[in-house]
Structure 1
Amino acid sequence: MHQNYYFLKPLGEELHKEMQGMELATCFTQNRDEMILGFCKPNQDFYIRVVLQSDFACINTLSEFQRAKKNTLDLFDIIIGKKVLKIEALANDRSLVILLEDNFTILFKMYGNRSNVIVFEGNDVIDLFHKKLQNDWELHLSEIPKNIEQTKENFIKEEGNVKKIYPTLDKTLLAQITEENLDKRWQQTENLIQKITNHYFYVGVYNGLPALHFLPDTIEEAKEYISALEALNAYYYAYARLSHLEKEQNQAIKSLQKAIDKTENYVEKTYLKMEDLSDSHDLEKIGHILMANLHQIPEKAEKVVLHNFYTQKDITIKLKTEYNPQKNAEWYYKKSKNQKIEIAKLEENLQARELHLTMLQNHLQQIEAIENIRDLRNYLKENALDFQDDKQANENPFKSYQIEGFTVLVGRNAQNNDLLTQKYAYKEDLWLHAKDVSGSHVVIKYQSGKVFPKSVIEKAAQLAAYFSKRRNETLCPVIVTPKKFVRKTKDLDFGQVIVEKETVVMVEPALYQA
């Protein structure tokens, strides 16, 4: 309805009162489908923003506008400095014009997905905003207004075809005219025109989207305005809020779904790999069988058949020809040890990924249910979710180091520290932090059955010192404690925790060099 002639007409009248005598001071674009026109007179600035997207074309006004410092393009240089003479809607059309001195005109053509801003000199087009709309070059200003005889006689002549007499009425307005009898139908049409020209406007919701209408009963949550300009601005900002919510929500959902798919794929492949490792022969037992039968194994043999005293059946064992029998047994022992380490690592990673997957799925469910942009942004901030660069799609959101076989994770900022300590660290993990200063949380991931080596703790402590306010000091005290002694209460800010039990080591701040 904001593109309807019966709305553009009072809008033009209000803009004329506001802008007559002003000078066009600037005209530029800094977004592909948006342009800004800035007008001024002594002690007053006035801006018109024109949005010309394929699914949304609208104008709104502002008292001030901060132009970006880069990536902007000046437009319509030929009319800069021209004064506004008159603003009006063109008869029975979805167009608004600003008449300028020296016979120039700016036309706002509000034709849905074919909307455009066009500059005329006299009757001819001299410039377009959307140059892809090539047919606009053929327009002539004098041919755009539609002079229609809106009388009962003409109405009857057109057999009660309301659309031919009032071409800018949309389907929601036409639906108000239900009479079949021509006299009654004309009276109903006149009553409708009287209603929509009484200068009352309503902004609300229609089919789940912001809507501007003349009739309050046709929309939900209708709010009344007596100014077309105020109603248009209210409608624009309602649509902009919804558009931003939809855009940011879709971006978050898309990024979360991508991360979920990636994590599910990893979990599936890890289960298959663990199954393959579990189904393979017990390499340590093969080593025992070889050691028990060294005297039966020929030198440089590629394989040997021996009695398996675990299953009481014969087993064929592949051998390395360059190794003697004892070396082959040692090779199987080493391979068995590496396999156990690999399985333990896979189990650890699997546990972390399954927890991460559950968390991602919960985030997705929560974000899909959010209905306003403020709640969405608060949720993303509180949960340290940043999808601007698709960061959450990465497998590891933290700085990660492998130190002597142990995984060491380092938080990137206060919110990321919370994510690391509260969501990714387990009670058996070792937690480190530079003492009495702000800095990154550092976590050494626990490995089943292993004690944290002092050398690993020292190198992780050096990382905690390096990623803190004590980076440039000679020595830094670093807190070291199991994660189970670190807790967080609701009153604490991002990154703040309470450490209930600690030991302190002194280290030199340094990055880890593998």
Structure 2
Amino acid sequence: MSFDGAFTHAMVSELQSALVGGRVAKISQPYPNEVMLTVRNNSHNQSLLLSAHPTYARVQITTIPYANPATPSNFTMMLRKYLDGAILVKLEQVANDRIVQLTFSARNELGDQESIALIVEMMGRHSNVFLIDRGDNRILDLIKHVNPDQNRVRSLLPGATYIAPPAQDTVNPFVDHEAVTDLVATYPAAPVLAKALQETYQGLASDTAHALANALHEPGQVTDLFDAFFDHFNHPIPTLNQFASNKTSFSAFPIINDAITGMQNFESLSILLDFFYQDRAERERVNEQAGNLIHIVRNELKKNRSKFKKLQQTMAETEHADEFRIKGELLTTYLYQVKRGMTSISLPNFYDNDTPMTITLSNQIGPSQNAQKYFNRYQKLKNAVAFVTEQLAKTQEEIDYLSNIQAQIELASPKDINEIRLELQQQGYIRVHQKRGAKKPRLQISQPEQFHSTDGTLISVGKNNLQNDKLTLHTAKKTDLWFHVKNIPGSHVIVHSDNPTEQTIEEAASLAAYFSKARDSASVPVDYVNVKRIHKPNGAKPGFVIYEGQHTAYVTPTTDLVKRLQG
């Protein structure tokens, strides 16, 4: 079931009981399209997420932690100006549309009471969050500014009057069920009926309409079945639906669908959405924040792989260096036979039983110069061997490092991106334009992710190279166990124990495999060794270490295990 008008109806009911009457204690905008309001109500702080994401637009209470940006956005500053300390007096849905209005009572700079609203429109790529002065319905600010030539129906800029989206010619199913009997009689087939229901009733996504069409074919009076279906949204049973294809969907209550192979219930709709959206939304947020990093790393990888290929070609050419030396020696030996103006000559090769060898000559230079030319080419190739060998090693090291960064971005959470960006700045991949005399900004390295094995042993996982270095080289004890996937980019994992159980070792190895490029593989080899056997070579790049005396475990990482150890 999508986050359509019907699901919004159920969510608004949940939020009303949890938030109305509460005071806004904190406001932040951790991501470009999302606002977080901390509302204190009934002695509890609730984090209310208002998302205008083009794919995952929603309104919910969330418990997923987020990283607050160092510099607040202009929209955040406007929200704080008008809503800091405000009381949420009303939270309602507009008809059965995907529009939620939050009305606040606040005091302005003069101490006068005023009514301010936040309006969340959840409409795909047109989703937006508006800050509205209820006195004159003026837009104070909005999370996405839209140029007039992109939307001529209504102005979406600060200072304009807020105009609601154009109303559709549909009926609110929570208010009116008169048309449903005729629809069922006219369209007996469920797929056709579902489309007719969508065209008639407001706020029904395709999956909700199909679920309703199936419900209307159950035994009973049509209007009773219709009302019973929508009454489920007033008394939701938050459900995660699992399909044979391993895909999942969410619904406000268990729905009839033969394709569903399993169901899981949750305490609230918000908890359900946290579970459903965590990985999907996290990946989108990372892509938003790390777009330029992904581009930089891909370009650097492409450049270094091209360089490596050219170096290999040069190395292959050096294998024929002796052929140039032999030609030079033959020309020197039989110099009396070489005449100026020749373009080639065949001479006996005393290195190969006097088998004749044809040697190409330049007719612009003399015999001795031709011989010297071959000696020069031989010497140049011989000199190149040491240089090319060194460059091959350095380029391969660069490719390994960038591949590791690429894997870390793929596995990163939004809060890890700043540290990866800082590392790329320190390594010179990103130029930082600073004013003269300004101090370099220092970023506090965040703590690694914490897990606990089944027996309660603490396990730490570094999510980027800066965390990995700090965790392995500075935080971990020499007697702790260190884990890393074998010859594959991944996280450093530390078991904070000098004598962990076999189960803890297996679980730590699974974490190391999960937080690596081998996440989706089976039987992943993971090396583990005491921290005292880990060494970092001088001048090595962040995250790179060498070790000896390791053991190797083979594990298959699973998301279920990671979530269990995290909990």
TM-score, normalised to structure 1, is: 0.58
Instruction: Please give the alpha-carbon distance, in whole angstroms, between the structure 1 residues aligned to 2:296 and 2:138.
Output: 45
2:33 pairs with 1:33: yes
Are the structure 2 counterparts of residues 414 and 194 from structure 1 closer, same or farther at C-alpha, using a change threshold of 3 Å? Answer: closer
Are the structure 2 counterparts of residues 22 and 144 from structure 1 closer, same or farther at C-alpha, using a change threshold of 3 Å? Answer: farther
Q: In the alignment, which residue of structure 2 is the partner of 1:68? A: 69
- Offset of 1:334 from its aligned partner? 4.6
Are the structure 2 counterparts of residues 67 and 204 from structure 1 closer, same or farther at C-alpha, using a change threshold of 3 Å? Answer: same
2:140 pairs with 1:124: no
Q: Tell me the secondary structure at the aligned position of residue 87 of structure 1.
A: strand
Are the structure 2 counterparts of residues 241 and 216 from structure 1 closer, same or farther at C-alpha, using a change threshold of 3 Å? Answer: farther
Are the structure 2 counterparts of residues 231 and 277 from structure 1 closer, same or farther at C-alpha, using a change threshold of 3 Å? Answer: closer
Instruction: Please give the alpha-carbon distance, in whole angstroms, between the structure 1 residues aligned to 2:7 and 2:167.
Output: 17
Q: Select between 193-202 and 348-357 the one with higher mean Cα deviation.
A: 348-357
Corresponding residue to 2:234 among 178, 190, 197:
197
Q: Does the CA-based 8 Å contact 1:48-1:62 persist in structure 2?
A: yes
- Offset of 1:247 from its aligned partner? 8.6
What letter is aligned with 1:70?
A: T
Corresponding residue to 1:87 among 88, 91, 109:
91
Q: Does the CA-based 8 Å contact 1:202-1:216 persist in structure 2?
A: yes
Instruction: Please give the alpha-carbon distance, in whole angstroms, between the structure 1 residues aligned to 2:377 and 2:38.
Output: 75
Q: In the alignment, which residue of structure 2 is the partner of 1:489? A: 549
Are the structure 2 counterparts of residues 115 and 317 from structure 1 closer, same or farther at C-alpha, using a change threshold of 3 Å? Answer: closer
Instruction: Please give the alpha-carbon distance, in whole angstroms, between the structure 1 residues aligned to 2:29 and 2:48.
Output: 12
Following superposition of structure 1 onto structure 2, how do residues 12-27 of structure 1 map, counting pairs within 5 Å?
Answer: 12-27=12-27
What letter is aligned with 1:94?
A: R
- Offset of 1:154 from its aligned partner? 3.9
Q: Does the CA-based 8 Å contact 2:533-2:548 persist in structure 1?
A: no
Larger Rg: 1
TM-score, normalised to structure 2, is: 0.53
2:250 pairs with 1:212: yes
Are the structure 2 counterparts of residues 423 and 168 from structure 1 closer, same or farther at C-alpha, using a change threshold of 3 Å? Answer: closer
- Offset of 1:40 from its aligned partner? 4.2
Instruction: Please give the alpha-carbon distance, in whole angstroms, between the structure 2 residues aligned to 1:253 and 1:131.
Output: 26
Q: Select between 77-86 and 61-70 the one with higher mean Cα deviation.
A: 61-70
Following superposition of structure 1 onto structure 2, how do residues 413-424 of structure 1 map, counting pairs within 5 Å?
Answer: none
Following superposition of structure 1 onto structure 2, how do residues 88-127 of structure 1 map, counting pairs within 5 Å?
Answer: 88-101=92-105, 102-120=114-132, 121-122=134-135, 124-127=137-140
What letter is aligned with 2:6?
A: Y
Q: Does the CA-based 8 Å contact 1:85-1:99 persist in structure 2?
A: yes
Which runs of no fewer than 5 residues in structure 1 stay unpaired? Answer: 368-372, 395-411, 425-435, 443-462, 468-485, 493-514
Instruction: Please give the alpha-carbon distance, in whole angstroms, between the structure 2 residues aligned to 1:487 and 1:28.
Output: 44
Q: Does the CA-based 8 Å contact 1:118-1:125 persist in structure 2?
A: no
Q: Tell me the secondary structure at the aligned position of residue 223 of structure 1.
A: strand
Q: In the alignment, which residue of structure 2 is the partner of 1:234? A: 275
Are the structure 2 counterparts of residues 200 and 296 from structure 1 closer, same or farther at C-alpha, using a change threshold of 3 Å? Answer: closer
Instruction: Please give the alpha-carbon distance, in whole angstroms, between the structure 2 residues aligned to 1:154 and 1:316.
Output: 94
Corresponding residue to 1:169 among 190, 195, 204:
204
Instruction: Please give the alpha-carbon distance, in whole angstroms, between the structure 2 residues aligned to 1:344 and 1:65.
Output: 50
- Offset of 1:31 from its aligned partner? 2.7
- In percent, how many aligned pairs have the same letter? 14
Are the structure 2 counterparts of residues 292 and 151 from structure 1 closer, same or farther at C-alpha, using a change threshold of 3 Å? Answer: closer
Instruction: Please give the alpha-carbon distance, in whole angstroms, between the structure 2 residues aligned to 1:106 and 1:324.
Output: 90
Q: In the alignment, which residue of structure 2 is the partner of 1:340? A: 382
- Offset of 1:248 from its aligned partner? 11
Are the structure 2 counterparts of residues 375 and 222 from structure 1 closer, same or farther at C-alpha, using a change threshold of 3 Å? Answer: farther
Q: In the alignment, which residue of structure 2 is the partner of 1:459? A: none
What letter is aligned with 1:171?
A: S
2:312 pairs with 1:287: no
- Offset of 1:57 from its aligned partner? 0.7
Q: Give the RMSD, CA atoms, in angstroms.
A: 5.8
Q: Does the CA-based 8 Å contact 2:171-2:201 persist in structure 1?
A: no
Q: Does the CA-based 8 Å contact 1:287-1:332 persist in structure 2?
A: yes
Query: What are the superposed Cα offsets for residues 427-463 of structure 1, whole Å, 9 maximum, x if unpaired?
Result: xxxxxxxxx9997536xxxxxxxxxxxxxxxxxxxx8
Q: Does the CA-based 8 Å contact 2:241-2:262 persist in structure 1?
A: yes
Q: Tell me the secondary structure at the aligned position of residue 97 of structure 1.
A: strand
Following superposition of structure 1 onto structure 2, how do residues 364-513 of structure 1 map, counting pairs within 5 Å?
Answer: 389=424, 440-441=536-537, 488-490=548-550
Query: What are the superposed Cα offsets for residues 467-489 of structure 1, whole Å, 9 maximum, x if unpaired?
Result: 9xxxxxxxxxxxxxxxxxx9712
Instruction: Please give the alpha-carbon distance, in whole angstroms, between the structure 2 residues aligned to 1:148 and 1:251.
Output: 44
Instruction: Please give the alpha-carbon distance, in whole angstroms, between the structure 1 residues aligned to 2:279 and 2:49.
Output: 15
What letter is aligned with 1:155?
A: V
Q: Select between 78-87 and 278-287 the one with higher mean Cα deviation.
A: 278-287
Q: Tell me the secondary structure at the aligned position of residue 117 of structure 1.
A: strand
